[in-house]
A and B are shown apart, each in its own frame.
Chain A
Amino acid sequence: MKKGLGKYVLIRLVGAVPLLLVVAVIVFVLLQYAPGDPAELMLGMDATPENVAQMRVKMGLDKPLHVQLLRFLAGLLRGDLGTSWQSGRPVAEEIGRTLPVTAYVSFVAIVISSVVGVLVGVLSAVRQYSLVDNIVRVVVLAGVSMPVFWLGLMLIVVFSGFLGVLPSSGWGTPKHLVLPAVTLATYPLAMITRLTRSSMLEVIRQDYVRTARAKGLSMRAVIVHHALQNAFIPVVTVIGIQFGVLLAGAVLTESVFAIPGIGRLTVAAVFARDYPVIRASVVLTAAIFVLINLLVDISYTYLDPRIRYDN
């Protein structure tokens, strides 16, 4: 571990607590302004006004707002996320069930897109305006513009329908992972490729690269040790952001492939006005971004020795 890094991480983590509390308050307040009565929605149109009133008491919605808010924040600080109004199960259990699924798919997707994206991006930059570069640029444009929904369906049609080699939907075996991971990887892959290419193009024109080449170093050594390391900082930032976006849940992909992930959980909760689940999932997403940003910042110190956090 680098000097001062431990203290830096500690400060950042402690600093995240008030930030998350502010996020929690904001999401609480925003939900108060969301149209629709959770109790009424839960009971549907068969309910009488008395039924709805009874339900509101059961859900704690009859309490004054500040009491509801304080209960929520106090629970959060104790690590108690409450109980889902829809399923009646603890929110922690619901998230514990869905987050690992999303995390697994997202991790595989981000690994695919980072590895392939960086390699193709470098290749494309080094061979600027070559046939390879032109093909890459067209494919990247397609990748960025392709709706995941459509892509997912096309993959199902081809690999489950025509070829019959992969299951169309569901969760459980590694085979179930392939199509969703590839679908999810497409956009970040295109982004990472494009960014790696432009970042590399900038770096390989620098004097020190020319110097390195002039010293007689091989092209490969120059690219890997000199150029790539410097070009990598913006790329790592984007990888981090994309990973965070994937972890927050990709509802379209999860719906198309019927994966029990956190994206579907959250969206279902929004439609049902299941406040405890919405709040927990928003705070969790904020926490994930805090954590990923921290990891990205730490990675900078390894990529660029000039970046230090010890003062």
Chain B
Amino acid sequence: MIVLSFLSTQQYGYLVLDELKNKGIKVEASTLYPLLRRLEVQGLLNSHWDLTDGRPKRYYVLSDKGKETLRYLKSEWQNLVLEVEKVMEDSK
């Protein structure tokens, strides 16, 4: 969900890694790059290669299915947080 939420605008792998790091989320490149590929295979991301500056970069962006999945995951996450908060408050 976190990775998907970074990709509403197109980004390439290293930028996503950098942004995750800046937000304090520790994800290894060896986890992120295969994950991006899998998300694309699952149809959640679209990608294209940018070869303009001689260093090929694969840019990823959310597909329609990816946007829908992200919305669903966010709402599931919010429900989970609310339920946990409710349990915590009841236990006070």
Verify that A and B bind, or say they do not. no
Q: Footprint of A on B, CB under 8 Å?
A: none
- Chain A interface (Cβ within 8 Å of chain B)? none
